[in-house]
Structure formats: C-alpha cells, structure tokens
Chains A and B, each alone.
Chain A
C-alpha cells in the first residue's frame, strides 16, 4: 500500500481517500453490481462493531464515510476534522478488512440499489448517457453496461456472494491512501501504519479490460410524453497517456467545453435551442470516449442535430484567440480548482486510479501551455469525425418523425 500526503495549511477538515485496485470486470458473470453492494454495505457493520455500532463509532470520530465504484477501482472516502484522523483511519481499515455483511444489511442495500435503478431509468438524461456507452463501447465489455449492475443480476445476489467477492478482491497491494488537509503536527505515515498494519495481502488482481469500440449506431429511445429530447453524440477516444491528450483538451474546450464554445454560442446564445451543451473527453485507463451532451424541446431535435453536426465539422480552423482562451481556461484555473483538501484528494485519487505518474497534473499543465492551433486541430479532427459518431436521442418519438433515422 502507498501513502500520499498533501499538507494544505488552513484546511482543518481532512480528506482521506483509500483507492483500491479493483477493475469492474472482476465481477463474476451473473453478479454484476456485486462491487457496488460490497462497498455500500461496508459501513453497515463490521466484526468489531456490528450493525449500527459502526456508524455510531464513525460519527463519534466526526467522520463522514462514502464509497465509490470506478471502472478500475473501488474508493472509500472520509471527511473528518484533523484531530480525529487516527480514529477515522482505524475505522476505515476495519471496514475494508473485516466488514460484517450481515444477511439483512446486504438484502436492504440491494433493495435500495434496485429502487435506485428504477429512479435512474425514469430520467431521460440517464437513459441517454447509458445508451451512448452501450453504443460506443463493445457490448461484450463489462464497462459498456451500468457500473452499479443490472436488476436481473442484483436480484439473485446473496450476502455470501458479496462476502466472497470482498475476500477475493479487497486487498492492500496496489492500494493508495491519500490524506489531504492541514497536517501540521500530524505524522500521517505512523497513523496509516497503525491503522492498516494488520490488513493482510490476498490474491493477485484482475487486470482491467482494455476498451474497444462497439459498432457505432444511431439510436432513438422512445420516452412517452417527454417534452424534451435528451441528445448525445459520441466517439471512441484516448486516455491521458496519449500525446494528443493536451491538444485534444484545447480542441474540445473551443468546440464545447466553455460558455463561449462554438456549440454553446450558436445552440444556446444565438438560437435559444437549449439550456446548455457540453463536450468532453472521458479517459479510461486505456482508451476513452468523447461526447457531446445537450437537450432541446422535442420539435427542435432535428434542427439542433443538423446544426451540431455542421459545427462539429470545424470548417474554420481554430484561431489564436480561441486557443489562447482555451489554454487560459484549462491552465490558469488550476490554483483555484485545487484550493480545498477535498479537491486535492479527488485529483490525487484520479491519478492513482488511472495509475499515472505523481507529476501528471504538472506535466499536463506544461503540455497544455505549448499547444498550437494546428496541434489542437489535428488532435480534434483525428478523433471527432461527425459523420461516423454514435447518436442517441431519448424523447417522444411520435414528435420526431423528421429526424431522418430511427435505429440503425
């Protein structure tokens, strides 16, 4: 296990994140969602503090606990005052090494997850984002499906499955503990050693699946009575190790990452088609995706899509002014974005999860400052090919007959 400490004077509430290597494709076939249930049930009781005693002990340490599942990691996050760090870390170590996983607790957390699935699927924006992932990525990949699992698999999960998953996959090897905040007078290494000393190593990890593209289709998903269409366009992309990462960031900021981006200026500020449009890259450990996300009143869907596809052609090369503004937006924001313990810990966790170098942020900022209009254009056009992208529209299909496509 490694420890990364960040001393931030004045930040009296510390953020502690434990990032465990645990690719989502570790879930056994037929048990999708087990990683989510495993982390969500951690604070429902341990061997030493059964049932609500564990939550009470966390609250006595003034700590707030939160579990998070990523594509390649499971993360446990704590917020707590600086003088409660020892107690908080010991409870965190207890949760990850000896969770109780009582039958009734696991059953309740599964029931909550099932209700959550219904809530998520009732929202057009969620349907659009998940459908885009299913369309863009190879459907055989675990990451093409919802990370929290499907109702079908969750219904057959038992506490025994969850405990077995935990036994096999929760391990200190390759884990990173991040502690950020005002660390004056705090010896984080001793605190971490004391807390995690007895957590025993276990089997070798499963490697994350490399992601591969799906068969890129256009999809219309009918949502009865929807007054707006949720729209996504997507492309297969790159991860943060690709030399095109920095110029791509600049290109995407110009096209759809800022308020004055080409897409937002036309679609929102000139046409009034939408409340907003965004374009961003989503890196995985290897490979990634790029998407455009927006919504509009149903009758305007076709007009908005036509205009979006035309703008995405980027027929006018990026200008120096556009590139300067985008570089300013992406680089000068760093000191402002990293002024809290929570923000620093979250960035460090993202670096740990992607297994990037510790100086990744600094290197990326340096690379961003050097991006030229030509490099940004080249990175953008090499990845964003408007005619070949995936398109997903979720809305009332009865009012979108002029769309020009249904499903293919």
Chain B
C-alpha cells in the first residue's frame, strides 16, 4: 500500500472463516539496555483500548462473534492475530487499524501500571516459578556478549519493567508501530480483490512514517567449548549443547533443519537410538530457536537417565554428533526425514491461522510471501552432502557451548535426614555455608 503496509491474501475455498495475521517488525532485539521487556509490555497495552475502543473490548468483541484473538512477542517480531467468521472480518480489520492509528489517545499511567503487574505475573508463571525456568534466559546471556541484543529475553527484567514510563510508551509507539513496519496477511474464505479493498478501506488513511531499520553483524562461531553449570531444585540433570549458526533466512537453515530432525525427531533418529534406547538419556531433542538478526542458535538437549552423569550424556551425544558431521545422513534417513517434513509442514498449513502466520513470516524473513509454496521443493532437493557440508561448517562439536542444569542434591540429602532434638551438629555445605 502507499503508506508502506505489505498485504498478502491467501484465498481458501474450503473454510468458513478468515485468519487475520499482523507482523510488526519489532521484538526484544530492538530494545536497548535498561529498557528490556518493552516490546512485550507494549503488546499487552495494545489490548487496553484506543480512541474508540474500551479496555478489553477488542478481545471481547472478537470472542462474542465466535472468533479467537491473541498476540505474541518474540526476539524479532510482535504478532497480533484474529480468526473470525467471514462476517466478522470488517470488525477485526477496523479494530486492528483503530489501535494502530489511535492507541496513544487511550494509554495512561493506570493502564501501564496494571499491565506491568500482569506482565510480572506472566514472568513468574512462565519463568521464575518453574523448574529450569531460568535455563533459557541464562543460556542466551551466556551465548551472547553482554551488549548483544539477543542476550536478554523478550519478557525483560523486573527492574526494567518497574522503570517503564508513559513517555517510553509514546516513544516506542512512534518508533515501531508504523505502517511501513507492518505485514498483514488474510487467509481463508476471502476473494483477493475484496480482501485488498477491505484492507485499504481500514488501513489506507493511516499515514506512513519513517521506518527505522535494524541489523546486527553475525558473530563468529564459538571456540574453546565454553561451559556453564546451573544448579537448582530440579528433578533431573539436563545437558544443553548450543551452537551459533547463520540467521534463519540463510540458505544453510533448511539443510541444518533437516539434519536436526534426522538426529532427534523420531524413534529411529540417531540420538534416540544411541542415547534413549541405550538408557543414557530419557529424552533428546534438537531445535533451532529461529533468530533473524545475525545469528540463530541451534540446540541439542538431553535429560540424563537416572544415575548417568551429564558428562557421560554429553560424551555420548557428541560421539553420535561428530559421526553425523563427518558422514552426513544415509539415503534411508534422508528419505524418511523428507516424508516426515511433508507430513508436518502440510499438517501445520492445514489451519488458516498457521498458514497466515507462515506467510507473514516468510515475507518478513525472506522478503517473499510465496516462500511457503516452494518450501517442500527446497526440502526435496536437499542431498546428504548439503546436510553434511552445513554441519561441517557450523555445527562441529568443537564449536559448541555446553550448559548443564544440575540437581541440588546436597539440599535433598540434608532435608531428608532426621533432626536430632537437643543436640547441635555443625555442618559445612559444599558451597562453604556453615550450618
């Protein structure tokens, strides 16, 4: 559109509703030190009303017509989405356009204070009150230099959230909530011409503003196998092996993804066979965190079986890993992994919500909303050698970092012993605290 909004329409004659998906190119990567958690706090404020919409009314109206509505904030983007019956599309588009054009008319200190408390409860629920809840934040802090934008999590810190002011909200809105920073996808029972016209009706008048680009340079691969040990009152020791790889729009991402699935995604996968079937680990997993700026992070994790030390698990994992890096997959493994990817990708795209999200994502990341049409052809064309080469280049065992999460076993031992009344026994814990 002339004001900069990128609009994609994906008509589907077989469904009765429409999914509306908005990607704003703003996430925690755009936050500066001292203002962490802002993109996410802002996402909450987007539901607190605008010039003509009361607090909570956006969600209430969508739900009352049978629709669903939510939003998520990650490292690189903030995503708002609604799925509505066809007759509700006008209202959904109007609500989204309304908050983009007039959010600041409504936001006040009371909204900010209340949503700050809600976000702090979300942080407690998702991280602070969960076993291993600090693992992911600590891993990101460990893998990236202190000043790096991926070194902090989208949820932010309690201290920074406490400092957030109404002025910050205004500044953030002007900088990032801008038509030129928005991708809008409609998927479902909508004709393209009608869809473009509707989007134009509601969003056409919103003036475009300057878009602030952002980029950060890729970091070099990790060297020297940096190690971090975390401890907590958790039930099981975990091992995380981590690598820095090129950001997800890079061509290396597809062969790496297929290789990761051959390593851990199924019951015949290599790590499942070598670690789980041999009672070294209870479970294994591999994944790509999916970061867009400079680098992404690739992880392989294992939950240590009872009485198996993290070192043994790590060694076993790296033996399998290193053989895979040297030899690549077999033809049979490659064939099965491609079939599984066909199934999972088509299954993922079978709902209009997910399809709309994939289209917005591929436009943002690959500058091409039609990437979803080619994805499976790209996967089918991959060879064993493509996978081997990318693993050799980016995911060699020498380039890993290792994080272990250990049980605080001394705590359990002491807590279970019977206290002897009337006597005093001095004890020094392994961490030097004298009791």
Q: How far is the CA of A336 from the CA of B125 in the complex (A)?
A: 29
Is A52 in contact with chain B by the CB < 8 A criterion?
Answer: yes
Is B102 in contact with chain A by the CB < 8 A criterion?
Answer: no
Q: Quick check: B16 and A336 within 8 Å, CB to CB? A: yes
Q: What is the minimal beta-carbon distance from A344 to any residue of chain B, in angstroms?
A: 11
Q: Give residues of chain B (81-140) contacting chain A, Cβ–Cβ below 8 Å.
A: 83-85, 113-118, 120-122, 124-125, 128-131
Task: Give a binary string over B233-272; 1 marks a CB under 8 Å from any A CB, 0 the rest.
Answer: 1111000000000000000000000000000001110000
Given contacts A334-B66, A335-B16, A336-B68, is CB(A52)–CB(B267) below 8 Å? yes
Q: What is the minimal beta-carbon distance from B192 to any residue of chain A, in angstroms?
A: 18
Is A225 in contact with chain B by the CB < 8 A criterion?
Answer: yes
Chain A residue contacts of B235, Cβ below 8 A: 115, 118-119, 121-122
Q: Quick check: A224 and B68 within 8 Å, CB to CB? A: no
Is B15 in contact with chain A by the CB < 8 A criterion?
Answer: yes
Q: What is the minimal beta-carbon distance from B335 to any residue of chain A, in angstroms?
A: 8
Q: What is the minimal beta-carbon distance from A299 to any residue of chain B, in angstroms?
A: 12
Q: Which of A56, A81, A268 contacts B342 (CB 8 A)?
A: A81
Chain A residue contacts of B340, Cβ below 8 A: 59, 62, 64
Task: Give a binary string over A115-138; 1 marks a CB under 8 Å from any B CB, 0 the rest.
Answer: 100110111100000000000000
Chain B residue contacts of A269, Cβ below 8 A: 55-56, 114, 118
Is B375 in contact with chain A by the CB < 8 A criterion?
Answer: no
Residue of B14, B16, B63, B236 contacting most chain A CB atoms (<10 Å): B63
Q: Count of A residues near B, CB < 8 Å?
A: 66
Q: Quick check: B113 and A59 within 8 Å, CB to CB? A: no
Closest B residue to A52 by beta carbon equals: B268
Is A258 in contact with chain B by the CB < 8 A criterion?
Answer: yes
Q: Quick check: B56 and A265 within 8 Å, CB to CB? A: yes
Q: What is the minimal beta-carbon distance from A297 to any residue of chain B, in angstroms?
A: 6
Q: For the complex, would chain B's binding face be called helix, strand, loop or mixed by DSSP majority? A: mixed
Q: Quick check: B14 and A9 within 8 Å, CB to CB? A: yes
Given contacts A259-B56, A272-B118, is CB(A112)–CB(B273) below 8 Å? no
Q: Which of B116, B266, B347, B350 contacts A272 (CB 8 A)?
A: B116
Q: How far is the CA of A296 from the CA of B122 in the complex (A)?
A: 9
Q: What is the minimal beta-carbon distance from A110 to any residue of chain B, in angstroms?
A: 11
Given contacts A9-B14, A341-B350, is CB(A332)–CB(B129) below 8 Å? no
Q: What is the minimal beta-carbon distance from B388 to any residue of chain A, in angstroms?
A: 21
Q: Quick check: A272 and B115 within 8 Å, CB to CB? A: yes
Q: Quick check: B125 and A295 within 8 Å, CB to CB? A: yes
Q: Quick check: B128 and A272 within 8 Å, CB to CB? A: no
Is B191 in contact with chain A by the CB < 8 A criterion?
Answer: no
Q: Quick check: A227 and B116 within 8 Å, CB to CB? A: no
Is B12 in contact with chain A by the CB < 8 A criterion?
Answer: yes
Chain A residue contacts of B227, Cβ below 8 A: none
Q: Quick check: B64 and A329 within 8 Å, CB to CB? A: yes
Q: How far is the CA of A123 from the CA of B133 in the complex (A)?
A: 11
Q: Quick check: A333 and B66 within 8 Å, CB to CB? A: yes
Q: Quick check: B64 and A328 within 8 Å, CB to CB? A: yes
Q: How far is the CA of A56 from the CA of B306 in the complex (A)?
A: 27
26 example contacts (A-B, Cβ-Cβ < 8 A) are as follows A10-B350, A11-B350, A56-B336, A115-B235, A115-B305, A118-B235, A122-B131, A124-B129, A227-B124, A227-B128, A228-B121, A228-B125, A258-B63, A270-B114, A272-B117, A272-B121, A274-B118, A324-B64, A325-B64, A329-B63, A329-B66, A331-B66, A336-B16, A336-B17, A340-B351, A342-B347
